[in-house]
Amino acid sequence: MIVDPDVDEASTTLLGGTVVNHGKDKTEMIRYLGTLDVPDGACRWTGKIHGRIHARVKQDSIERGLAVKHLADGCVVLYDLTSTYFERRQCPLAKRGYSRDGKRGKLQINFGLLCTADGCPVSVEVFKGNTGDPTTLKSQVTALRERFGLKRFILVGDRGMITNARIREDLRGVEGVDWITCLRTEQIRDLVKKDAIQARLFDELNFAEIESPDFPGERLIVC
């Protein structure tokens, strides 16, 4: 949730609880706040925060419903990050970062999308525009496990998303979580130099499964 800087954290928490306890009636909520000792700024921004809280609650409800309908234990989940640029400067999440729109120098926001194996969107999360792809991975694993209640799933992401560091810190050792990604060019070259990938592997089929001590516990598919 994005909050005006004039409203402190305590006031924001209070407003969130007020929305939950007093329903969708904004007028009733403002009257209730008038009986409490809260900063003027908090009351001034009540309407705006009220709308944002309800939007967040509604998003969560929709995404949980999609997850129940389209995800199940053992499923394949696709995840990637994209961005969109801004011409104005009011959005506090807008930062300069890697532009997928080809708009260098523009402010932008990033958003990550979780989809089913068929490409059906299930969940979206917005990040600051200078957020690196790999750093968003952990929150998606948490969402799949805690918000959507999956005990087992296979997460698919590109080589820029599921890096060695993320595998080591966020995926390996987490019970029920497997992943599919691509090796980087230099990693493939190393495997060729070590004769882990040989032409004879493709005598009968266009792909093969290999193993390498450089990737312990992982299945490597070459094609």
3 state DSSP class of 86: strand
Tell me if residue 26 falls in helix, strand or coil: helix
pLDDT band for 59, please (50, 70, 90 cuts).
Answer: confident
Task: Please tell me the predicted confidence (pLDDT) of residue 198.
Answer: 80
Mean pLDDT to the nearest integer, 32-47 = 52
pLDDT band (50, 70, 90) for residue 88: confident
Count of CA atoms in the C-beta half-sphere (13 A) of 5: 3
- Over residues 154-160, mean pLDDT: 95
Is pLDDT of 171 > 80?
yes
Residue 131 has pLDDT above 50, yes or no: yes
| Average pLDDT over every residue of 140-166 | 95
Q: What is the pLDDT of residue 36?
A: 52
Determine the pLDDT at residue 55: 62
**Distance from C-alpha of 120 to C-alpha of 155, rounded to nearest angstrom:** 15
0.85 exceeded by the pTM?
no
The three-state secondary structure class of 179 is strand
| Whole-angstrom distance, CA of residue 150 vs CA of residue 132 | 26
pLDDT of amino acid 161: 94
Q: What is the pLDDT confidence band of residue 217, given thresholds at 50, 70 and 90?
A: confident
pLDDT on residue 20: 44
Structure tokens at 154: 């296979």
Residue with the two structure tokens 């009011």? 90
User: Is 122 a residue whose pLDDT tops 90?
Assistant: yes
Q: In the predicted model, what is the mean pLDDT of residues 136-152?
A: 96
- Provide the 8-state DSSP code for 66: H
**Bridge partner residues of 107 (DSSP):** 86
Compute φ and ψ for 15, nearest 5 degrees: -65, -40
Model confidence at 199: pLDDT above 80: no
Q: What is the DSSP string of 112-157?
A: EEEEETT--EEEEEEEETT--GGGGHHHHHHIIIIIS--SSEEEE-
Residue 167 has pLDDT above 50, yes or no: yes
Question: Can you tell me the mean pLDDT for 175-202?
Answer: 88
Q: Tens digits of per-residue pLDDT, 46-58?
A: 555 555 655 667 8
